[in-house]
Structure 1
Amino acid sequence: MSFSDTVSKIDGLNDEQRECIENCTEAAQACEWCADECLGNAEMEECARLCRDVADLTSLHARFMARSSKYSARLAQACADACEECAEECERHDADHCQVCAEVLTECAESCRSMADS
């Protein structure tokens, strides 16, 4: 069963919430990959740090959404802000992993912002 199929089975979520869970999970994975690739490069230390923060925030937000936590909307705001900051940092670097990460984070920030506003 795919991750998308699993998320679709969570009761009480609308399509926008399901999409945000998927985006957050993808962002966490992209950030872990990007952070790992940045290790050992002094010019990319800030990128690695931000990516690790975002990986933790987005995975936590996805879990909060899956269980309909009352704190999800507040965490969505923090997630959106962190995703935007990290995407800006990733965009500064030419590495493929940074460019992919920035793209994923931009999409995640948009869906998290939508969750924060709802």
Structure 2
Amino acid sequence: MSLAETVDKIDSLTDEQRECIENCNEATEVCEWCADECLGDPDMEECARLCRDVADLTSLHARFMARGSEYSSTLAEACAEACEACAEECSNHDAEHCQVCAEVLPECAETCREMANA
């Protein structure tokens, strides 16, 4: 069973929450990949740091939403801000992993911001 199929089985989630969880999980994966690829390159240290922050925040936010945590909306705002900062940093680099991050993260930021304002 895929992660999306598992998320679909959580009856208490709205369609918007499901979308945000899926976006957060995708952001987690792409940022872990990007951070790993940036290791050892002094010019990529900020990129790696931001990607690690995003991976941790998006992973945590997805878990908070799945369990209906009352702190989810507070975390959603931090998640959106980190995604935006990381996307901006990654867009400055030509590496494929950075370009994928810069492409994926704005959508995650948008859905997280919607969750923060819900």
TM exceeds 0.5?
yes
Work out whether 1:69 is the aligned partner of 2:69.
Answer: yes
- Number of equivalenced pairs: 118
Moved over 2 A (4+): none
1:57-86 deviation line (CA, Å, top 9, x unaligned): 000000000000000000000000000000
Tell me the distance in 2 between the aligned counterparts of 1:22 and 1:92: 26
Q: Which residue of 1 aligns with 2:42?
A: 42
Structure 1 letter corresponding to 2:63: R
State percent identity of aligned pairs: 76
Displacement of 1:106 after TM fit?
Answer: 0.8
User: 1:2: how far off?
Assistant: 1.2
Which structure 2 segments of 5+ residues have no match? none
Residue 115 of structure 1 is matched in structure 2 by 115
1:6 partnered with 2:27? no
Question: Which deviations, in whole Å up to 9, do the C-alpha atoms of 1:79-108 show, x marking residues without a partner?
Answer: 000000000000000001000011111110
Aligned residue in 1 for 2:102: 102
CA distance in 2, matches of 1:53, 1:9: 28
Q: Distance in 1 between matches of 2:49 and 2:81?
A: 15
Amino acid at match of 2:52: R
Q: Deviation string for 1:30-55 (max 9, x for gaps)?
A: 00000000011111000000000110
Matched residue type, 2:110: E
Using the size of structure 1 for normalisation, the TM-score is: 0.98
